[in-house]
Amino acid sequence: MRPKILIIYTGGTIGMAMDYHSQSLIPFDFDNLLKRLPEISLIDCDFDYFSFEEPIDSSNMRPEIWLQIAEALETKYHEFDGFVILHGTDTMSYTASALSFMTENLEKPIIFTGSQLPIGELRTDAKENLITSILLASLQKEGKPMIQEVCIYFEYKLFRANRTTKINAENFDAFESPNFPSIGISGVHLDVKEKILFNYQKTGDFRINKQLDSSVGVLKIFPGIPQTFVENLLHSPNIKAFIIEAYGTGNIFTDQWFIDLLQQKAKEGIHLIINTQCAGGMVEIGRYSTSTPLAKIGVISSFDLTMEAAITKAIYLLGQNLTHAEFKTQYETSLKGEMSTT
């Protein structure tokens, strides 16, 4: 039986063309994209396609549109063996991370890909990215899909989606997984590292948890950050979780006004999550005295989460209506292979 793959087109550079009036790249329709990939008919799979009515530049992506992708996946889940989602690179790590948290009992691959150059350009990276994503999505083992998680495939590497971050706006290798190895390499052979694929005990049928709440704020600290700016930001109404991008292993400046403000916010029931500005390594609250006040306040550690996973995990968990203690426990637990805690 040939595997059946659904390709979902949301937009992004992969399907863009130059608009001669504005001299900028804009998305075009899916038929146009496929016309530029005649090689697709050589792949030993059956396909179907689903395209957003209006493909978007992924800078315009938002949780309501994650839900549209979720709807498409949910309706078509049982008809297909694997899914390839074409998405702009700018926010691909956010969407893919969010989907990793939202999907429950996933037993099929959901592979996000896109490209740095449109598919119509001579030197495009789109063809390899798309063709290999389809091949990866169609891999089977003992009659079941080999990959059963949300991934990003880009420039010869397969990543666990919720470990990725976009690190380059120009090079073809736009993504990196700073704290977890790539789960597959495309060379002469497609080498999927089966031992590190995400696998967990499924407890029921596939479903997508669509309860999201994006009342999340981010505070990136820097030497000399103005007090009024920090105060205004932390007093923003209707924010239920703040992610504080701290230095190194979770260190902050320890001016009393800042500690008092954090203390006050924690008392108000706001979730304070400490992330690191470093690309690699993890938060270790209490390692330096500049983070011990945070330990006393009872902040939440994001360990080695990428910023994309830190934000989308907060959006997902806020949607679950948890108490502060439940939120902290869930946040500090790896739910979908997104973080290491030691």
Residues found near ligand ASP in the complex (CB under 6 A): 11-13, 57-59, 88-90, 114, 116
User: Smallest distance, Å, CB 122 to ligand ASP?
Assistant: 17
Residues with Cβ < 8 Å from 295, sequence gap 6 or more?
285, 286
Looking at beta carbons only, is 126 or 192 nearer to ligand ASP? 126
309-318 burial: b if 16+ Cβ within 10 Å, else e: bbbbbbbbbb
Looking at beta carbons only, is 86 or 274 nearer to ligand ASP? 86
User: Smallest distance, Å, CB 22 to ligand ASP?
Assistant: 14
Contact 13, 117 (CB under 8 A): yes
Reply yes or no on whether 10 is catalytic: no
Q: What is the DSSP string of 91-117?
A: THHHHHHHHHHHEES--S-EEEE--SS
Contact 327, 314 (CB under 8 A): no
User: Smallest distance, Å, CB 90 to ligand ASP?
Assistant: 3
User: Smallest distance, Å, CB 89 to ligand ASP?
Assistant: 3
Residue 32 Rama label (left phi>0; alpha psi -120 to 50; beta) = alpha
| CA–CA dist 146, 141 (Å, integer) | 5
262-277 burial: b if 16+ Cβ within 10 Å, else e: beebbeeebbbbbbbe
| CA–CA dist 153, 161 (Å, integer) | 9
Looking at beta carbons only, is 57 or 107 nearer to ligand ASP? 57
Looking at beta carbons only, is 129 or 162 nearer to ligand ASP? 129
Looking at beta carbons only, is 82 or 114 nearer to ligand ASP? 114
Residues with Cβ < 8 Å from 339, sequence gap 6 or more?
179, 302, 303, 304, 305, 309
User: Smallest distance, Å, CB 8 to ligand ASP?
Assistant: 15
| CA–CA dist 201, 209 (Å, integer) | 17
Choose the catalytic residue: 13, 95, 103, 124. Answer: 13
**Active-site residue set:** 13
